[in-house]
Amino acid sequence: MNKKENNIKRKTWAATITGIIMPGLGQVYNGELLKVACIFIASVLIAFIGLQVSIYFIDKLIFPIIALSLILYLAIYILAIIDAYIESRKKMNNIPKSYITAGMFI
């Protein structure tokens, strides 16, 4: 593929919308795969640990533990969206990576 065919610049709204659809997808759009892995691992760990602890303390603390897990998950989700927007603003003039196509988001 030559340079003229791949002359599409990065769009901040695309990174933000994909980040809203799923945590980490905006980072995929920005080409930050290490951040995607960190966001995914943190999200899964929070859900798993929250579930395990809430099962262990089923009578006493189930509501506070589930609420804390939900708050932490939402914090990661919102921070991932903000990070996708900020990083796409920084990389606005960079051409997206070759693996970023419209088909991968469908």
Domain count, the chain: 1
pLDDT score of 98 more than 70: no
Question: Cα dihedral angle (84, 85, 91, 94), rounded to 10 degrees?
Answer: 80
Does residue 2 belong to any structural domain of this protein?
no
Asked if residue 40 belongs to a domain, the reply is yes
In a domain, 37, yes or no: yes
Instruction: Please give the share of the chain, as a percent, with pLDDT higher than 70.
Output: 76
pLDDT digits (tens, 9 = 90+) for 33-73: 899 999 999 989 998 888 888 778 777 778 888 888 899 99
Write the single-letter amino acid at 9: K
The predicted structure's pLDDT at residue 37: 93
Q: How far, in whole angstroms, is CA 18 from its chain's centroid? A: 8
Q: Which residue has the tokens 């695309």?
A: 14
**Tokens read off for 73:** 């998950």
Whether the per-residue pLDDT at 93 is higher than 70: the answer is no
Domain, as residue range, for 60: 12-93
Tokens encoding 72: 């932490």
Domain assignment of residue 23, yes or no: yes
102 part of a folded domain = no
Instruction: Please name which of 20, 25, 21 lies closest in space to residue 36, comparing C-alpha atoms.
Output: 25
